[in-house]
């Protein structure tokens, strides 16, 4: 008796779990004698399981996670070989929002927020000030002489960049309130202030 070809659609029904138990049992018996159908069922099992697991177990990361990873890239100049840039994550050491108010001082939201971060031998003094409906981010890098550099403020929807002056100070263009990554690119060192809440 020649082998009967089992329609692919029927095999999908089997793997999906759409068949009644007695029909499934009959089909399984046929598949046991059909190498091609057996291979199809195995393939369908892997793929459909992958899709179902992805639906329940995969997780979409926040947009800023992707933006930060994209921002890692620095094209290499033709004149020097690719060298790893030393990256220092900055740690928060002072936040004026969390500092206790002196007794007798009227309570209320301060207009300017001051933050101090440290990263290795460097300190980054930041001042966040309301500017109309936006926020001004200004500051200074303190530490070994860097000989200039750039500072960039990046979020999934906004980016601003400015050069440091001769005193390693900077004032970025006003930006909307949001969650940003501040990156200071100095000579051979990059300092990153992660998850900076502006506003």
Partner 1 sequence: MELSDEALVLACRRGDATAWEALVERYYRLVYTIPRRAGLDREQAADVCQRTFATLFEKIEQIEQPARIGAWLATAAKREAWRISRREHSAGVNSSPTADDQLAEEAVADVLLPEEELVRLEEQHIVRMAMGQLDERCRQLLILLFYRSDIPAYIEIATALGVSEGSIGPTRARCLQKLRRLLDLMGF
Q: Establish if 52 lies at the interface with partner 1 (CB under 8 A).
A: yes
- Select from 20, 21, 29, 84 the one that contacts partner 1 (CB under 8 A): 84
Q: Establish if 55 lies at the interface with partner 1 (CB under 8 A).
A: yes
CA separation for the pair 113, 99 (Å, rounded): 11
Residue 152 · residue 129 · CB < 8 Å: no
Number of other residues whose CB lies within 10 A of the CB of residue 154: 20
CA separation for the pair 181, 196 (Å, rounded): 6
Q: Establish if 79 lies at the interface with partner 1 (CB under 8 A).
A: no
Give min distance, CB of 106 to partner 1, in A: 35
Q: Which is nearer to partner 1, 11 or 186 (CB)?
A: 11
Structure tokens at 34: 């059909």
Give the H or E element holding residue 92.
strand 91-95
Number of other residues whose CB lies within 10 A of the CB of residue 39: 11
Q: Which is nearer to partner 1, 19 or 146 (CB)?
A: 19
- Select from 4, 36, 42, 46 the one that contacts partner 1 (CB under 8 A): 46
Q: Establish if 61 lies at the interface with partner 1 (CB under 8 A).
A: yes
Q: Establish if 16 lies at the interface with partner 1 (CB under 8 A).
A: yes
Give min distance, CB of 31 to partner 1, in A: 16
Residue 139 CA: distances (Å) to CA of 62, 105, 110, 117, 170: 28, 26, 18, 11, 5
CA-wise closest residue to 71 among 143, 150, 164: 150
- Select from 32, 69, 97, 187 the one that contacts partner 1 (CB under 8 A): 69
Q: Establish if 51 lies at the interface with partner 1 (CB under 8 A).
A: yes
Residues engaged in binding partner 1 (CB under 8 A):
7-9, 12-13, 16-18, 43-44, 46-48, 50-62, 65-66, 68-70, 72-76, 82, 84-85, 87, 194
């Amino acid at each position: 008796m020649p082998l009967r070809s089992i329609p692919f659609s029927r095999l999908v029904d089997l793997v999906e779990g759409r068949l009644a138990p007695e029909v499934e049992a009959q089909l399984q018996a046929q598949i046991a004698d059909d190498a091609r159908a057996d291979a199809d069922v195995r393939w369908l099992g892997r793929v459909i399981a992958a899709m179902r697991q992805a639906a329940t177990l995969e997780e979409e990361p926040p947009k800023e996670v992707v933006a930060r990873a994209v921002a890692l890239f620095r094209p290499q100049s033709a004149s020097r070989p690719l060298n790893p840039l030393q990256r220092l994550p900055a740690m928060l050491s002072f936040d004026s929002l969390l500092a206790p108010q002196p007794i007798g001082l009227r309570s209320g939201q301060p207009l300017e927020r001051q933050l101090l971060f440290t990263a290795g031998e460097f300190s980054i003094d930041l001042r966040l000030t309301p500017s109309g409906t936006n926020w001004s981010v200004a500051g200074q890098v303190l530490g070994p002489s860097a000989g200039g550099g750039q500072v960039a403020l990046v979020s999934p929807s906004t980016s601003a960049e400015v050069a440091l002056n001769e005193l390693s100070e900077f004032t970025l263009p006003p930006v909307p309130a949001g969650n940003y990554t501040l990156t200071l690119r100095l000579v051979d060192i990059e300092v990153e202030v992660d998850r900076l809440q502006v506003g």
